[in-house]
Homo-oligomer: A and B are copies of this chain.
Amino acid sequence: MDIQHYLQGKRQLINDHLPSFLAEKSIPGPLKDSMLYSLQAGGKRLRPILTLAVLDAFGKNSEAGLEAACALEMVHTYSLIHDDLPCMDDDDYRRGKPTNHKTFGEATAILAGDALLTFSFQMIAGSSTYTPVQKVALLTILSEASGAEGMVAGQAVDMESENQELTLEELQSIHERKTGRLLEASVLFGAVLADADAEEFERLGAFSRHLGIAFQIQDDILDVTGDSQLMGKQAGSDEHNYKSTYPKLLTLEGAKIQLAHHIKLAKDNLRKTKVDLVILEGITDYIVNRNH
């Protein structure tokens, strides 16, 4: 199993499908351009890949997960557009390209984010592939993960905590909501569509929560050690922005130990499930070994 090849194939599949959902829609030109600009700005596509990978691990047809997977990527994309705004993180570049508001102006960027968020729910609710019970499960997971107790809460607390020294617990709590919940939702989406039982659901949830923490620790480590070119943003930007990070709180060595710890716990939980391990373990290792 060549995991790089697997990821590449899934990424291509997602990149091919993501814009197609908007193609037939009568959306005003600049709004549609702005939505597509950020959807097509590249990225790892980790969230939709996780949904497809869980379906593969259950031995199901993963292409049936494409709509749900692309809905997750739309929510992720909306969150990046709003986080980049001048009144939030004020970022001019994202993945090496000018941010949405730099290209389309603030008003259109806000509306494009609003529209992508709304469209993610529309895609799932209107899907001809999923049953009503599956749709309700997906929409519940997605709205809880991305809303006032999940991703939006994480961003709100992150903004409040700017220039403040955080404890490890506070840092973890921000990341858990800001990025962890949507990664968890990505794994649970696969479980819902594979009709997983409650026990598998619980174990995959635990797997995804440790995976999410590991992902964030590696992000922080890359900000210290990484190559700006590969990352599409300036290495050292967390330091520059006075952000609390795992290396800052634990030292680089301590952060690497925590990373290994959460990778181990993620895999332990994965091995308790009955799904095929190869793909999901491969993705877990990829998260530690990635260089951007």
A residues with CB within 8 A of B: 22, 25-28, 30-32, 35, 82, 85, 87-88, 105-108, 110-111, 113-115, 117-119, 121-122, 125-126, 132-133, 135-136, 139-140, 142-144, 146-149, 152-153, 155-157, 159-160
Contacts and interface: CB of A to CB of B under 8 A. Distances in A.
Contact of A106 (B87, B118, B152, B156): B87
Contacts of A156: 28, 30-31, 108, 111
Contacts of A82: 110-111, 114
Contact of A140 (B25, B114, B122): B122
Contacts of A26: 149
Contact of A118 (B35, B85, B143): B143
Given A117-B114, A156-B28, A160-B30, A148 B105 contact: no
Contacts of A35: 148
A110 B85 contact: yes
Q: Which of A121, A126, A132 has the most CB of B within 10 A?
A: A121
Contacts of A157: 28
Contact of A121 (B27, B121, B133): B121
A25 B22 CA distance: 33
Given A31-B148, A115-B148, 17 more contacts: A32-B148, A85-B110, A87-B106, A111-B152, A111-B155, A114-B152, A115-B147, A117-B117, A118-B143, A118-B147, A121-B139, A121-B142, A122-B144, A122-B147, A125-B143, A126-B140, A135-B135
A120 to B, nearest CB: 9
A158 to B, nearest CB: 10
A147 B119 contact: yes
A105 B119 contact: no
Given A125-B139, A140-B125, A160-B28, A87 B115 contact: no
A281 B82 CA distance: 42
A82 B118 CA distance: 14
Contacts of A122: 140, 143-144, 147
Contacts of A117: 114, 117-118
A160 B107 CA distance: 10
A25 B136 CA distance: 20
